[in-house]
A and B are shown apart, each in its own frame.
Chain A
Amino acid sequence: MKFGVVQFPGSNCDDDAYHAVEAVVGQSVDFIWHQSEQVSGFDAIILPGGFAFGDYLRTGAIARFSPVMRAVDRFARSGGLVLGICNGFQILLEAGLLPGAMTRNKGLRFLCRQVHVRVENTDTPFTCAAREGQVLEMPIAHMEGNYFCDRETLAELERNKQIIFRYVTPDGVVAPDDSSANPNGSLAAIAGICNRERNVLGLMPHPERAVETALGSGDGLALFRSLVASLSGQATISA
């Protein structure tokens, strides 16, 4: 089983994702340079957090044109598992691999804090090792995490159970209008969504920062353990 962590020039959580997979989860992992035209040999690809190309224009707007994103697109469309964290989520939205868009946080400020998210659907390769309704504590660190989509898309996300994580209070209650429970003002308190096929997930919180209790929380392990479980025994996807 091999994980790939894509490196855009301004990725800055690439080392953290690598560390989480290798040192904590104990799986093999390699970096993939943004100019790489192919991503063969990997079983799961992580688009890490950061500021891929500075993001002065719009988060992820330039990254989506990277050569590696054509390969990631092929990989995803042939069923490969793709996890976008923070900036990675923003890039997946820009690349059209996930629906919707990000706007600035409701308070118009960068926010770095521990938040609570509720697992809304465990029927995905990213959450199969979690419990439905389980509340996970993970940090956020972003300026543009205010998820938005149109009404039809939201209805479709709900219908297909594509909303995987929602921001909640510590005891698991969704409160979209409460800035302490829904810190960036996301529509329907959405913290993470997957595609219809369930093999592409994007989320704003950082599971790779929550894999060691010594650093505050080990709850992010639920995602990595799910990935490992669902990949066990599965054939390598080439793209």
Chain B
Amino acid sequence: MASIDTEIKVTPEIAAEHGLTPEEYARTQKILGRDPNITELGVFSVMWSEHCSYKSSRAHLKRLPTRGTHVVQGPGENAGVVDIGDGLVAVFKIESHNHPSFVEPFQGAATGVGGILRDIFTMGARPIAVLDSLRFGPITSGAGASDEEVARNRRILDGVIRGIGFYGNCFGVPTVGGEVAFEPCYSNNPLVNALALGIARRDELFFARASGVGNPVIYAGAKTGRDGIHGASLLASAEFSEESQQKRPNVQVGDPFMEKLLLEACLEAMRTGAVVAIQDMGAAGLTSSSCEMASRGGVGIEIELARLPQRETGMTPYDILLSESQERMLLVAERGREREVFDVFHKWGLDAVEVGRVTDDGQLRVLNHGSVAADIPAHAIAEQGPVYQRRIATPPARLQAPAQSISFAARGADLSANFRRLLASPNIASKHWITEQYDSMVRTNTRVGPGAGDAAVLRLKGTKRGIALSTDGNGRWGYLSPKIGAMHAVAEAARNVACSGARPIAATNCLNFGNPEKPEVMWQFSESIDGIGEACRALDTPITGGNVSFYNETLGKPIYPTPILGVLGLLEDADCALGSGFRNEGDAILLLDGNQKAGVAAELETEFLSSEYAKTLHGIVAGTPPVIDLAAEKRLIDCLVNLASERVISSAHDVSDGGVAVTLAECCFTSEGLAAEVRMATTGAQESANKETLRREDGLAAEIVLFGEGGARAMVSSSPELLARVSQIAAQYGVRLERVGTVTRGEFRIQYNGGNLIQGSVDSFQNAWSGSLAAALKSA
């Protein structure tokens, strides 16, 4: 890549090429009191990019709840921090790396993991888990996807999976969970969201606030090269066009071994007590790390670029400041104790050099061989960037999903074949083929690993406690109703955490949307924020951080609005953690339902149009997401946490994609050879809710009962002797409990109103579920 000529005179045209609007360019002139030079323009352009400045989202993000009893640090630092007792804190955040992962799947995903890990250990926490939330286009032909498109999606998925594994496995952090889903809208815009969790002592946290005028600024880690100039910052701040593949050189290259060294060296350097502040160089590299450290500390920073370890010759100040070379850190040390910091980094074989000092004038001053290359007020560039109230418009009716209907199967029809198709659909099918390419056990804390439970559970060595984590988000529901879809994302993640036995205490979010300059995208965003805010308030899971990813569009087509929620839960006793699989033959199978009223048939039919079943079996994406009742969700969560802590249930699995039938099947698949014998019937509550529309012998359509996806429900199993206590607890929390069946070693069978609707050996269903992803992807 050619270097930018430093002598070039900045014009409004050049500013526009850097993505600055005329108003933003004028703002730079006002802040500086003069025209910026080209280096300064580069600095402004990355710092004020959508990715770094949150200029379109900032006004809305204020509506999210960020405080709570456990919150130690909310949004605004490298990651959120919550108190988990015993003097410990959990440090966690989710971040996107969507655009780089489309351009170069392997390195894009790898550096996405690397970036979020640095955010965690920058705060002094050792990373103990990673979860990935991934979205891809279709990987099976049919349903309108061309062979070429399918092949490309498979290649993207393969590269992303390998990249995540490559980085996490080598670094030594277990990849313990997450989810993978497929929809056509992600074909040219995959989503790669990575969440990392670390643990630190509360009194040993580090922050990115420079202080102490005269203190040395130290650069540590990998050398700076030209890779990733305008990488995360600009790639993620514009839509994709047909030329986007040419942006491959803008994607950074990851070195997990270097990151492992950096982790150990940083944690060891922090223990010396000589480190004042520390910030990783992520998006916008040296520029953002120095600006943000200075701005947060209310000081200035002066840096001499000639002292920076460089991988290439002839780099200009512009190149160096904007480089997004990975695995680099900027530290402020105590003057006189820098030797202690250097010694630690050298022990780990890393570069560490003094490149500047903390000043009292609030300026980010960049020198190159002694001459000033850039001189900008740090606070102004970090905090006084543009904030937009983008126009919001409810989409016109044509953009709303068209009205459609499903013709239900005849009463009493055998649905086993349909069920097998549903189980084999990539969204429902086992993700084992993917997750076993990740080391999910390193650091020996994984109590409940990928696929074994609704949430990943990690024990905390040296304490009795455990932490549960789940990420969730249903793009299809976001598309049909952004607000309700977002609420479901929060509720499902929290419910999953509760199914594992943990009490949800905090959340992090990754908001994946289209082009914010389009009013209907902004409407989706605003609605989603409202939904997340409402749900997080109701469920006591404040947002502690996260990331917004706009411009997820290619050739003008936006993705479904896809907010991904990561919810963190706390187990007082890790031994109470629950998996989703049945444990004992003879256990009672119980359906817990936080909803106090049964659904109305007409509404349930409309909701059913948004289900995985409607999509897989009928090719329909329509209707509305299931109604969400946050009070019902809260009742169910409290009930589940209590059941787990009293150890009266053997397993818990929430009812989500694919409804009751898929839930029951998965409870069998994750058990050791157990099956379920289930009888469901139109209940009294359903009858009274539907007395206008239903006659007793009809009941609801069997497909709605079996495959409908309403919230606030979970399938648990319990030994018959403990049933009375389970019922008592459920009643105490106002949760309806229905005994629907028994765990057996026989056939898998579900009856509804007396007829066998699904019947067959567990193996016959499990084969459909476990083999389909591998079959589609082995050729990738």
Contacts and interface: CB of A to CB of B under 8 A. Distances in A.
A23 to B, nearest CB: 8
A23 B459 CA distance: 14
Contacts of A53: 257
A112 B438 contact: yes
A169 to B, nearest CB: 15
B763 interface: no
Interface string B149-173: 0000000000000100100011110
A181 B526 CA distance: 52
Interface in A1-50: 9-10, 12-13, 15-16, 19-20, 23, 49-50
Contacts of B444: 16, 19-20, 208-209, 212, 215
A209 B172 CA distance: 14
B379 interface: no
Contacts of A112: 169, 436-441
A12 B444 CA distance: 11
A224 interface: no
A65 interface: no
B733 interface: no
A215 B441 contact: yes
A20 B348 CA distance: 25
B172 A214 contact: no
Candidate in B162, B264, B441, B447 with the most chain A CB atoms within 10 angstroms: B441
Nearest to B445: A215
A109 B255 contact: no
B441 A209 contact: yes
B461 A214 contact: no
Contacts of A209: 441-442, 444
Interface in A37-79: 49-51, 53-56
B261 interface: yes
A16 B170 contact: no
B349 A109 contact: no
Interface string A111-131: 111000000000000000000
A132 to B, nearest CB: 26
Contacts of B459: 214
Given A9-B261, A208-B444, A50 B172 contact: yes
A229 interface: no
A23 B446 CA distance: 17
Nearest to A14: B172
A53 B255 CA distance: 11
A19 B441 contact: no
Nearest to B158: A109
A157 interface: no
B260 interface: yes
Interface in A92-118: 109-113
A153 B419 CA distance: 52
A176 interface: no
B747 interface: no
Contact of A12 (B172, B438, B447): B172
A50 B443 CA distance: 11
Contacts of B447: 214-215
Contacts of A10: 170, 257, 260-261
Interface in B333-376: 348-349
A141 interface: yes
B490 to A, nearest CB: 30
B442 A141 contact: yes
Interface in B428-453: 436-447
A9 B262 CA distance: 10
Contacts of A9: 257, 260-261, 264, 348-349
B442 A13 contact: yes
30 contacts: A9-B261, A10-B170, A10-B257, A13-B442, A16-B443, A16-B444, A20-B444, A23-B461, A50-B172, A51-B170, A51-B260, A53-B257, A54-B255, A54-B257, A55-B170, A109-B437, A110-B438, A110-B439, A111-B436, A112-B169, A112-B436, A112-B439, A112-B440, A113-B436, A141-B441, A141-B442, A208-B444, A209-B441, A214-B447, A215-B444
Interface of B: 162, 165, 169-172, 255-258, 260-261, 264, 348-349, 436-447, 459, 461, 574-575
- 9 closest cross-chain pairs (CB), A and B: A12-B172, A54-B257, A141-B439, A51-B170, A16-B444, A112-B439, A110-B437, A110-B165, A113-B436
Given A9-B264, A51-B257, A53-B257, 10 more contacts: A9-B261, A10-B260, A13-B172, A15-B443, A51-B260, A55-B257, A141-B442, A212-B444, A215-B441, A215-B444
